[in-house]
Amino acid sequence: MFHLLIVNAVYMVHQSNVIRSSEELNTWLKRGFNGSETFEDVCNVFHPAISTMQDYMKHIQNIPLISSFFKVHCHQDENIFMVSLIMSLECFETYVNSITTYEGDMSYSSHDNNFLPNKNSEKLLAEAVVDEEISYNIDIKANI
């Protein structure tokens, strides 16, 4: 089940066209996974790069944007993992589709919380903002 979620999430990242060049993403896509593969199948396809669950987790966590979808909690024993979904697959799809790519020199100075550096290029990713005027001088009145 987890592998199927990952296959779908990776496909969403690919379809968004936000990440144009990522070795991990391209390597994953070349394998043509459909989600029905067993862990053994995945290990055989990626051999020798992936031979343990820890290798698998590291690989998928290096795919851009995937770390926004789930978090892995490792136990002291390297073969025991707890995975927490940060958002549903539908939410992740909305999130990925809301990201826009900006090229060029962008300053982090006043907006460091709004921009995510893309480690594969000099582009910055930012969530899309609806182009509308927002009045910031609105009186807030309590309903009594």
Q: Give the tokens for residue 74.
A: 């490792």
Rounded-to-integer distance, Cα 11 and Cα 16, Å: 9
Count of Cβ atoms closer than 10 Å to residue 129 Cβ: 10
Encode pLDDT of 60-105 as tens digits: 999 999 989 999 887 666 667 888 999 999 999 988 888 865 444 4
Rounded-to-integer distance, Cα 83 and Cα 31, Å: 23
Is residue 33 scored above 70 in pLDDT? yes
Structural domain boundaries of the chain? 2-92
Encode pLDDT of 122-143 as tens digits: 444 444 444 455 555 555 555 5
